[in-house]
Amino acid sequence: MTACRIIYGTAWKKDRTAALVVSAVLNGFRAIDTGKEQLVGDALHILQTEHGVKREDLFIQTKFTSMSGQDESKPLPYDPSSRLETQIHDSFKNSLKNLRTDYVDSYILHSPLESLSRTVVAWKALMALQDAGRVKHIGISNAYSVDILEALEEQGGRRVQVVQNRWFEGNNWDAKVWAYCKQHGIQYQSFWTLTGSPSLLKHSTLLAFAHAKGCTPAQAVYRLAQLNGVTPLSGTTNESHMQADVKVESLVVDEGDQQKLGLVISWMGLV
pLDDT of residue 1: 46
Q: Using the 8-state DSSP alphabet, how is residue 35 labeled?
A: S
Band of the pLDDT at 202, cuts 50, 70, 90? very high
For residue 2, pLDDT beyond 90 = no
Answer whether residue 113 is part of any domain: yes
Band of the pLDDT at 230, cuts 50, 70, 90? very high
Helices 204-213 & 217-227, crossing angle to 10 degrees? 100
What average pLDDT does the segment 27-40 reach? 97
By the 10 Å C-beta count (0-12 exposed, 13-18 middle, 19+ buried), 171 is classed as middle
Answer whether residue 74 is part of any domain: yes
For residue 30, pLDDT beyond 60 = yes
What average pLDDT does the segment 86-114 reach? 98
Q: Do the beta carbons of residue 269 and residue 218 sit within 8 Å?
A: no
Q: Where are the beta strands (DSSP E) in 113-270?
A: 135-141, 162-166, 187-191, 230-234
Answer whether residue 222 is part of any domain: no
Q: What's the whole-model pTM score? A: 0.96
Q: Using the 8-state DSSP alphabet, how is residue 102 labeled?
A: S
For residue 262, pLDDT beyond 60 = yes
pLDDT of residue 271: 82
In DSSP notation, 107-136 reads: EEESS--SSHHHHHHHHHHHHHHHHTTSEE
For residue 3, pLDDT beyond 90 = no
Answer whether residue 254 is part of any domain: no
For residue 24, pLDDT beyond 50 = yes
Q: Using the 8-state DSSP alphabet, how is residue 247 labeled?
A: T
Alpha-carbon distance 120 to 112, whole Å? 9
Alpha-carbon distance 135 to 106, whole Å? 6
Alpha-carbon distance 99 to 266, whole Å? 41
Q: Do the beta carbons of residue 242 and residue 29 sit within 8 Å?
A: yes
What average pLDDT does the segment 97-102 reach? 98
The CATH number linked to 16 is 3.20.20.100
Alpha-carbon distance 98 to 197, whole Å? 34
* Range 211-233 burial, b when 16+ CB lie within 10 A, else e: eeeebebbbbbbbbbbbbbbbbb
Domain count, the chain: 1
Helix, coil or strand: residue 47: helix
Task: Give me the percent of the chain exceeding a pLDDT of 70.
Answer: 99
pLDDT of residue 75: 92
pLDDT of residue 129: 98
Alpha-carbon distance 166 to 182, whole Å? 16
Answer whether residue 186 is part of any domain: yes
What average pLDDT does the segment 151-176 reach? 97
Alpha-carbon distance 134 to 124, whole Å? 14
Q: How far is CA 129 from CA 27, 51, 105, 110, in A?
A: 32, 31, 11, 16
Band of the pLDDT at 144, cuts 50, 70, 90? very high
Answer whether residue 129 is part of any domain: yes
Q: What is the pLDDT of residues 34-88, one digit of tens each?
A: 989 999 999 999 999 999 999 999 999 999 999 999 998 889 999 999 999 999 9
Answer whether residue 244 is part of any domain: no
Answer whether residue 14 is part of any domain: yes
What average pLDDT does the segment 225-247 reach? 98
| Residues spanned by the domain of 139 | 7-197
Q: Do the beta carbons of residue 41 and residue 66 sit within 8 Å?
A: no
Among 27-31, 66-70, 142-146, 222-226, the range scoring the smallest mean pLDDT is: 66-70
For residue 176, pLDDT beyond 50 = yes
For residue 143, pLDDT beyond 60 = yes
